[in-house]
Amino acid sequence: MENQELLQMVTEKARKWLSPDYDEATRKEVQRMLDSDDKSELIEAFYKDLEFGTGGLRGIMGVGSNRMNIYTVGAATQGLSNYLLKNFKDMKQISVVIGHDCRNNSRLFAEISANIFSANGIKVYLFDDMRPTPEMSFAIRHLHCQSGIILTASHNPKEYNGYKAYWDDGAQVLAPHDKGIIDEVNKVTSAADIKFQGNKELIEIIGEKVDAAYLDQVKTVSIDPEVIKRHKDLKIVYTPIHGTGMMLIPRALKQWGFENVSTVPEQMVKDGNFPTVVSPNPENAEALSMAVNLAKQLDADLVMASDPDADRVGIACKDDKGQWVLMNGNQTCLMFLYYIITQYTKLGKMTGNEFVVKTIVTTELIRNIAERNNIEMYDCYTGFKWIAREIRLNEGKKKYIGGGEESYGFLAEDFVRDKDAVSACCLIAEVAAWAADNGKTLYQLLQDIYLEYGFSKECAINIVKPGKSGAEEIKAMMENYRNNPLKELAGSPVVLFKDYQTLKQTDADGNTKDIEMPGTSNVLQFFSADGTKVSIRPSGTEPKIKFYIEVKELMHSRDDYREVNVKADEKIEKVKKSLGL
């Protein structure tokens, strides 16, 4: 589309937002953008509609069709209401749960959504304050609701907010409901289509009762309470990074029996501006720096940080030289599953009917652990809704004992259907206690897992390409990798190429085979002869393209750990060159 055409299109679209259906502040802001000589802000705000995708909405807050505001949130809620009324038309009373995080406008968006649902005759359970995403997932099942939403942009920067929709199983919506909801949302073309006037009689405020029920269930995740009793003084430092984890995680740790938990006071303050961090993402070392500094002062054993909606957890522990090091999401996932499988086996809890789940971009060492312990493992797409799907499909037939992803999410239980930092924080503390019971640190436990199952190192690279031009660049990059598949990775020949958009895999001899997955996805994977794996995908929620690199090395003893890490880093640099990065 030529610039003049684009400008004409966005101008026409923006002028519709000057109608009396929109509030005065919105109209003023739209008029300001229309009057400005620089039209770039107008174009970014209106060049497209903020898409209600299979993961809901996520975007920068502000005025415009491509922004998170009461009208884009309102359209999503009206569309979801319309779909629920169609799908459950024979039900006497449809009900939903609404949760939200600490972000600016999250409470406003939650209350607006409650009004819209109730105006459509739908019963609403609205949390009295911010709560973790996993608790909202739990509440859907606990309160026998048909759907639920959470207002959160997870670990994104402060400018963002988001809206995630869930179904009656407590998981994010999947086919056919995702497409059905999207169709209904797309039919809402103006503010006049949205029922903003709520029915207070249909809105019930919930809080402590659901908190207590959820925490009681979280307590059942503990495998060996006796080991906690022996190490109840384990020194733990926790930070919620200004988010929802502060509501429940310290309380949950206490309920499990941990008596020596310190929190970072400056970050135990609810604040959507996240003033103490550059980004509230526990994947970033900087987000844990205040917690690590406190841990140094206290000579602590373990540091934990949850993201703003408390579904992801990042951890740090001391290495063999007493220096604090961060564990990545693959490493924590390995430790969780290793502990669960080892303890279940030791306690005679294994029946031969258990399964674990990982995402396709998560470390292949999990496959090694599962296979060697005769446990079924499912590989699924990125996003916890796909892990939840495997739990649902196997419900009543097989026992789910854990699932995780490289992006710091883990779920040890099935009464929640999304990643859960509340149970994960408690469980990693129990793993640390168990390691101590066996004369090890968490760091040594990780080394021993590598010795038993093989060493791998992972590296994630995110290339950010914002705006309309960025989306086009990302599309071109994916097309290039797809049409010109890599022949080698760090000098090792590629022996398998998987394209999840065509659901075909091709080996080194050119033989093709179908990939069995529930649908297509814009992901490419390359596997080389020496065990290197590269996955490439555009983010579904942010303007970035993601590269996941995993390399293997031989490790013979704990003493080799530093050396194999250096070798792995060198190989990763060579892989980057193969990728043209």
| Portion of the chain with pLDDT greater than 90, in percent | 93
Six-digit token pair at 244?
Answer: 């929802």
Determine the pLDDT at residue 469. 82
Amino acid at 408: Y
Assess whether pLDDT exceeds 70 at residue 337.
yes
Assess whether pLDDT exceeds 60 at residue 1.
no
Q: CA-to-CA distance for 545 and 465, rounded, in angstroms?
A: 8
Contact 318, 429 (CB under 8 A): no
Contact 550, 368 (CB under 8 A): no
The lowest-confidence range among 111-115, 346-350, 355-359, 456-460 is: 346-350
Assess whether pLDDT exceeds 60 at residue 418.
yes
Determine the pLDDT at residue 120. 98
The lowest-confidence range among 224-238, 365-379, 466-480, 521-535 is: 466-480
Q: CA-to-CA distance for 344 and 351, rounded, in angstroms?
A: 10
User: Tens of pLDDT along 135-185?
Assistant: 999 999 999 999 999 999 998 899 999 999 999 999 999 989 999 999 999
Q: Is this model's pTM higher than 0.85 or not?
A: yes
Q: What angle do CA 58, 525, 52 make, to 5 degrees?
A: 20
Query: Which comes out higher in pLDDT, residue 103 or 543?
Result: 103
Assess whether pLDDT exceeds 90 at residue 2.
no
Residues forming beta bridges with residue 524, ordered by sequence position: 499, 536
Determine the pLDDT at residue 470. 87
Long-range CB contacts (< 8 A, 24+ apart) of 395-398?
A: 397/353, 398/353, 398/354, 398/355
Contact 448, 568 (CB under 8 A): no
Q: How do strand 236-239 and strand 409-411 relate by DSSP bridges? A: unpaired
User: Tens of pLDDT along 528-563?
Assistant: 999 999 999 998 767 899 999 999 999 999 999 999
Determine the pLDDT at residue 56. 87
User: Tens of pLDDT along 212-233?
Assistant: 999 999 999 999 999 999 999 9
Q: Domain 455-579 belongs to what topology?
A: TATA-Binding Protein (3.30.310)
Q: CA-to-CA distance for 427 and 308, rounded, in angstroms?
A: 19
Residue among 50, 47, 99 at smallest CA distance from 71 = 50
| Portion of the chain with pLDDT greater than 70, in percent | 99
54-206: what CATH class?
A: alpha beta
User: Tens of pLDDT along 48-63?
Assistant: 888 887 778 999 999 9
Contact 564, 555 (CB under 8 A): yes
Transcribe 160-209 into DSSP letters.
EEEEEEEETTSSB--TTHHHHHHHHHHH--SGGGS-----GGGEEEE-HH
3 state SS of 102: coil
Determine the pLDDT at residue 471. 86
Assess whether pLDDT exceeds 80 at residue 513.
yes
Amino acid at 30: V
Transcribe 271-312 into DSSP letters.
-TT-TT-SS--TTSGGGGHHHHHHHHHHT-SEEEEE-TTSSB
Determine the pLDDT at residue 367. 96
Six-digit token pair at 339?
Answer: 């502990």
Amino acid at 299: D
Q: What is the mean pLDDT of the chain?
A: 96
Domain spans in the chain, listed from the N-terminal domain onward: 1-47, 54-206, 214-453, 455-579
Order of all β-strands in the sheet with 95-100: 57-60, 160-167, 147-151, 95-100, 123-127, 203-206
The DSSP call for residue 267 is G
Residue among 389, 460, 392, 361 at smallest CA distance from 54 = 389
Transcribe 96-154 into DSSP letters.
EEEEE-SSTTHHHHHHHHHHHHHHTT-EEEEESS---HHHHHHHHHHTT-SEEEEE--T
Residue among 296, 247, 290, 232 at smallest CA distance from 266 = 290
Q: CA-to-CA distance for 306 and 142, rounded, in angstroms?
A: 24
Assess whether pLDDT exceeds 90 at residue 354.
yes
Residues catalogued as catalytic: 154
H or E, element range at 399 = strand 399-405
- What average pLDDT score do residues 2-24 get? 92
Determine the pLDDT at residue 541. 65
3 state SS of 457: strand
How big is the chain, counted in residues?
A: 581
Q: Is 214-453's fold the same as 455-579's? A: no
Residue among 578, 363, 379 at smallest CA distance from 485 = 578
Domain 214-453 is found in CATH 3.40.120.10: yes
